[in-house]
Structure 1
Amino acid sequence: MSEASTDAVRHELRDGILVVSVDNPPVNALGAKVRYELRAAIESAQQNPNVEAVLLIGAGRNFIGGADIREFGKPPVPPSLPEVCNRIEASSKLVVAAIHGAALGGGLEVALAAHYRIALADAKIGLPEVTLGLLPGAGGTQRMPRLLGAKAALDLMLSGRHVGANKAHALGLIDRIGASADVMAEGLAYARSLLTARAPVRRTCDALGLVDRAASRAAIEAARVEVSQRSRRLFSPLKIVDAVQAALEMSFDDGLRHERQLFLQCLDSPQRAGLVHAFFAERAAQKAPETRKGKPRAIASVGVIGGGTMGAGIAVALLDAGLSVTMVERDDASLAYGRANVEKVYKALIAKGRMTSQAKAALLARFDGSTSYEALHAVDLVVEAVFEDMAVKHAVFAELDRVCKPGAVLATNTSYLDIDAIAASISRPADVIGLHFFSPANLMKLLEVVVPAQVSADVVATAFDLAKKLRKVPVRAGVCDGFIGNRVLAIYRAAADHMMEDGASPYQIDRAVRDFGFPMGPFQVSDLAGGDIGWATRKRRAATRDPKLRYVQIADRICERGWFGQKTGRGFYLYADGARTGKPDPDVEAIIDAERERANITPRTFTDDEIMRRYMAAMINEGANVVHEGIALRPLDVDVTFLHGYGFPRHRGGPMKYADSVGLSNVLADIREFAKEDPVFWQPSPLIVELVERGATLASLNQSA
């Protein structure tokens, strides 16, 4: 046995098989050094008469996790990944890829360039480039369709999802599934069996997945239609379809050149910049000052107070994470209702074929309920999800203070209320934190971790650790009315109300917001959430509302009629016969006309562009205030909040990223222009003024904290 080692790629000769191991922790990303040494290893194998075959593997927990994200936005360093893949495929000696862990993006493209592929049971295989506004740019769009056919390849590339070993084998992405967990042993055995069988060099570029040209063409056209309808004018999905069409219509080499052109177009797209910002922002948001200071407390059992929609959703999220859950309700009927809400989620999954009855039973074996707080005496954490009323919250926390063990984390799911006041009401304020889930709590990814003044660092660290267990995206928020998300929401919703009263219909506003990229407009959101929720908040705030601040009463008039949205069959929209999609309501338009007359407003027209400039200026301005006051640590925390909690279009990166992309000085000019009509509402954020004066961006603040 002979051996040679480098920092990034090791290779050793084992009985005629050159084992080439990528070793670039933590995920074996394809940085410039890896690419150079990988190509050199393949070339040395060609020159070495003792090498009969090459086995590509990854050191550590993964095969190759993809591109090196640290190289994003920097000048390219040769060799390019397409060059490396082409060199692997051109090898005159057998090249076998043995996959364990992640083979994603460029990692899978390397494997596709190999002549044969084996994967262990833990493999995660996919081409997720579309999620970053890109397309597979190292031959993935040319090799995968030739291997799998156009339909299956497009499905994988357009969704960006990864598949496991069994699915990859069924699709034809891999040739064999390893029987053990030893990637080296499985890879060597497979390579030796191929050599013994005198298996030929089998290049993916020669595969026949596109041989049925009519079926391929039909799949490409169907994908093009679907992408045009569903992708909200995203750039890279259509480019992926174009690249697969090139695979069908061009030679392999011409297709590679076309793929490269399309890849570079995606690389220059503002959408790519927005999606990459979102990618990095999500990772940065998962770190807070307290997570560096405190060690998470162990959490195995959790109490949930309240079995309504929110409490049940939280219970499901906790059960899905493998935790034991005890639900407490005020009486047997309410507890039965809460249990039914939990079971309803799992029954729906069974009906869709996504869960078995046995799996449901196993989950519910960890679910218990009680009408007594005493049942929570041993839990590690409690999440309170009761009615949004401070007196009710104080009563609940008094009971938790009494019964919970020392060191138990006491969390409130409040959306608006003062968590400092809740913490101060009990004897252990250091254990109190806000965990603001978004409905439905078992599906929505955002978790606002609201940090009161007296909380200990290890409790904050515990909250972030819990978010990871729940597969949620945590964002640290300070205490104020509405925290980050709902505080900003109140302002841009007010801007939408002002435009509605001034002449834009709610239906035009919703359409303009959808066209911008949101899944729903503000009035649709109100109907979905329930108009009574916002109405209760407005009534709570009425006593402290600034009398100089404009207040639009249209939503109140609608709520006074008992029209709360989808749950009552009408709100801003009409929902006939339980429909989920509403239609414009002439009666609502009459209410709006009457309110305009009462307020002595002569309606005027708005273009969709004018609507979005006001809507976004309000969102950006209040987002900047949230950062200025320290409620959000950085602008990126505002971005992540809106990407995961409020449907902000991901390809735009978030409201703060969007502000930088259109120019912060332009946003400030808009705010000052709007202030001529309403100087009380349109007060420029001191942070925006300061940044514009010194020519800086919001992004420049993302390195703080």
Structure 2
Amino acid sequence: MGSGIATALLVSNISVVLKEVNPQFLQRGQKTIAGNLEGLVKRGSLTKDKMSKAISLLKGALDYSDFKDVDMVIEAVIEKVPLKQTIFADIEKICPPHCILATNTSTIDLNIVGEKTNSQDRIIGAHFFSPAHIMPLLEIVRTERTSPQAILDLITVGKMIKKVPVVVGNCTGFAVNRTFFPYGQAAHLLVSLGIDLFRIDRVISNFGMPMGPFQLQDVAGYGVALAVKDIYAAAFGTRNFHSGLVELMAKDGRQGKINGKGYYLYEKGAKPKPDPSVQHVIDEYRRQTKKMPGGKLVTLSDQDILEMVFFPVVNEACRVMDENMVIRAADLDIASVLGMGFPKYRGWPHLLG
């Protein structure tokens, strides 16, 4: 994610210091950024001259010595609270007083992330969506202590890098991921009831989503799902469905698109194909969950599947609005379309939901 964010900044002529923990990771990050830029050139959205200019604006670093003059830091490490807290405590000592301290966390409460800093007014969420240099949405997360100036500055940066900034409140999952966390959970519940996994994806894709929930999980990778699972369970325990499917997939050596094998098979230059060999994992998952009544498969229509997947999302969207996590319902509309790919011609969630 960090490489994608850096790419988005670089193509907008913003200088970037990319900090990593060792030379190998730094080289890999720089290589990923170069690949992102080359991809933009191939698509015709960036010239070779502008690519060269973008690369010249990138500087690699293995410590924070180059952070003494920066205007904004965006942390984009894995979803581990102690690590994020340590990073913010360290950079606060080096960065200038006006520097925005932003985190790209997709889930964790910002008050916890910034707990060990003395600059709570500068802590803000800058939640990009993957791939960050292509996806247009930027969720700007405010806490009760985030200064208005920090919010305005991040909105300005968002517009500079051609993102659509939406200001949201601070809660587990924020606006978009919180609204859609029941989306994947409902799909997992349906599989536990005996509904074919690939049928669920087809129904959701035919509805207008870019891909179904299981292909989306493959593309996103299982690491994020495993990292945030306990966070969602703690925050929404009474309406959280415990699914062990991702753990079983990982145990079976499947990592999704990352290693070419998840619910689908991924081969270079080819469209993803359903992997029939995943059935034994699904069978074990159903055996463990024991959700099928009398051990028999449940029969549902396509409309039933749609409603079981999306109605919990509508309910969560209502909670998000009731808790004032978004300023207006239309903000959640925009975020759902730009962040999750919800088909705008469906007119939901604001109009239909």
Q: Deviations over 1:367-408 (max 9, x none)?
A: 212112110101111111112111110111011110001111
What corresponds to 1:114 in structure 2?
none
Question: 1:388 aligned to 2:82?
Answer: no
Question: 1:640 aligned to 2:328?
Answer: no
| SS of residue in 2 equivalent to 1:424 | coil
Question: 1:366 aligned to 2:60?
Answer: no
In 2, the alpha carbon distance for the partners of 1:550 and 1:651 equals: 30
Question: 1:588 aligned to 2:282?
Answer: no
Q: 1:423 to 1:453 in 2, by over 3 A?
A: farther
Please state how far the C-alpha of 1:542 moved relative to its aligned partner: 5.9
Verify the 8 A CA contact 2:79 2:227 in the aligned structure 1.
Answer: no
Verify the 8 A CA contact 1:503 1:606 in the aligned structure 2.
Answer: no
Q: 1:444 to 1:543 in 2, by over 3 A?
A: closer
Please state how far the C-alpha of 1:565 moved relative to its aligned partner: 0.8
Verify the 8 A CA contact 2:166 2:335 in the aligned structure 1.
Answer: yes
Q: Deviations over 1:233-292 (max 9, x none)?
A: xxxxxxxxxxxxxxxxxxxxxxxxxxxxxxxxxxxxxxxxxxxxxxxxxxxxxxxxxxxx
Verify the 8 A CA contact 1:513 1:612 in the aligned structure 2.
Answer: yes
Q: 1:330 to 1:591 in 2, by over 3 A?
A: closer
Verify the 8 A CA contact 2:16 2:58 in the aligned structure 1.
Answer: yes
What corresponds to 1:626 in structure 2?
320
In 1, the alpha carbon distance for the partners of 2:258 and 2:88 equals: 31
What corresponds to 1:404 in structure 2?
95
Q: 1:353 to 1:418 in 2, by over 3 A?
A: closer
Q: 1:621 to 1:401 in 2, by over 3 A?
A: same
In 2, the alpha carbon distance for the partners of 1:560 and 1:490 equals: 23
Question: 1:607 aligned to 2:284?
Answer: no
Please state how far the C-alpha of 1:508 moved relative to its aligned partner: 0.8
Q: How does 1:206-355 map to 2 (within 5 A)?
A: 310-351=1-42, 354-355=45-46
Please state how far the C-alpha of 1:526 moved relative to its aligned partner: 0.3
| Counterpart code for 1:653 | G
Q: 1:616 to 1:550 in 2, by over 3 A?
A: closer
Verify the 8 A CA contact 1:528 1:565 in the aligned structure 2.
Answer: yes
Verify the 8 A CA contact 1:531 1:571 in the aligned structure 2.
Answer: no
| Counterpart code for 1:387 | I
In 1, the alpha carbon distance for the partners of 2:247 and 2:170 equals: 27
In 2, the alpha carbon distance for the partners of 1:646 and 1:534 equals: 16
| Counterpart code for 2:146 | V
In 2, the alpha carbon distance for the partners of 1:524 and 1:416 equals: 21
Please state how far the C-alpha of 1:545 moved relative to its aligned partner: 7.2
In 2, the alpha carbon distance for the partners of 1:549 and 1:357 equals: 48
What corresponds to 1:378 in structure 2?
69
In 2, the alpha carbon distance for the partners of 1:518 and 1:386 equals: 28
In 1, the alpha carbon distance for the partners of 2:67 and 2:239 equals: 47
What corresponds to 2:348 in structure 1?
654
Aligned counterpart for 1:467 among listed residues 158, 174, 195: 158
In 2, the alpha carbon distance for the partners of 1:596 and 1:331 equals: 42
| SS of residue in 2 equivalent to 1:449 | strand
Q: Deviations over 1:152-197 (max 9, x none)?
A: xxxxxxxxxxxxxxxxxxxxxxxxxxxxxxxxxxxxxxxxxxxxxx
Q: How does 1:530-545 map to 2 (within 5 A)?
A: 530-539=221-230
How many residue pairs are counted as aligned between the two chains? 349
Verify the 8 A CA contact 2:233 2:240 in the aligned structure 1.
Answer: no
Q: 1:346 to 1:617 in 2, by over 3 A?
A: same
Please state how far the C-alpha of 1:329 moved relative to its aligned partner: 1.3
Verify the 8 A CA contact 1:619 1:655 in the aligned structure 2.
Answer: no
Structure 2, unpaired ranges of 5+: none
Which structure is higher in RCO with an 8 Å CA cutoff and minimum separation 6? 2
In 1, the alpha carbon distance for the partners of 2:44 and 2:236 equals: 50
Question: 1:458 aligned to 2:149?
Answer: yes
Verify the 8 A CA contact 1:616 1:655 in the aligned structure 2.
Answer: no
Q: 1:496 to 1:441 in 2, by over 3 A?
A: same
In 1, the alpha carbon distance for the partners of 2:274 and 2:152 equals: 47
In 1, the alpha carbon distance for the partners of 2:339 and 2:270 equals: 20
Q: How does 1:470-509 map to 2 (within 5 A)?
A: 470-509=161-200
Q: Deviations over 1:495-526 (max 9, x none)?
A: 11111111211111111111111110100100
Q: 1:542 to 1:619 in 2, by over 3 A?
A: closer
Verify the 8 A CA contact 1:398 1:425 in the aligned structure 2.
Answer: yes
Verify the 8 A CA contact 1:449 1:476 in the aligned structure 2.
Answer: yes
In 1, the alpha carbon distance for the partners of 2:136 and 2:210 equals: 16
Q: Report the more deviating stretch, 536-545 or 556-565.
A: 536-545
Verify the 8 A CA contact 1:449 1:460 in the aligned structure 2.
Answer: yes
In 2, the alpha carbon distance for the partners of 1:524 and 1:530 equals: 10
| Counterpart code for 1:588 | V
Structure 1, unpaired ranges of 5+: 1-309, 660-705
* Aligned residues with identical type, % of pairs: 33
| SS of residue in 1 equivalent to 2:351 | helix
| SS of residue in 2 equivalent to 1:476 | strand
Question: 1:568 aligned to 2:262?
Answer: no
In 1, the alpha carbon distance for the partners of 2:270 and 2:320 equals: 34
TM-score (norm 2): 0.93
Q: How does 1:688-703 map to 2 (within 5 A)?
A: none
In 2, the alpha carbon distance for the partners of 1:482 and 1:464 equals: 20
Please state how far the C-alpha of 1:459 moved relative to its aligned partner: 0.6
Q: How does 1:406-445 map to 2 (within 5 A)?
A: 406-445=97-136
Q: 1:599 to 1:367 in 2, by over 3 A?
A: closer
Q: Report the more deviating stretch, 328-337 or 608-617.
A: 328-337
Verify the 8 A CA contact 1:445 1:645 in the aligned structure 2.
Answer: yes
Please state how far the C-alpha of 1:582 moved relative to its aligned partner: 2.5
Please state how far the C-alpha of 1:532 moved relative to its aligned partner: 2.6
| SS of residue in 1 equivalent to 2:243 | coil
Q: 1:358 to 1:321 in 2, by over 3 A?
A: closer
Q: How does 1:112-261 map to 2 (within 5 A)?
A: none
Q: 1:454 to 1:319 in 2, by over 3 A?
A: same
| SS of residue in 1 equivalent to 2:114 | helix
In 1, the alpha carbon distance for the partners of 2:159 and 2:46 equals: 23
In 1, the alpha carbon distance for the partners of 2:4 and 2:252 equals: 29
Verify the 8 A CA contact 1:519 1:647 in the aligned structure 2.
Answer: yes
Please state how far the C-alpha of 1:558 moved relative to its aligned partner: 1.2
Dislocated runs of 4+, deviation >3 Å:
349-357, 539-550, 577-580, 597-600
In 1, the alpha carbon distance for the partners of 2:31 and 2:343 equals: 34
Q: 1:454 to 1:608 in 2, by over 3 A?
A: same
Verify the 8 A CA contact 2:172 2:232 in the aligned structure 1.
Answer: no
Q: 1:636 to 1:411 in 2, by over 3 A?
A: same
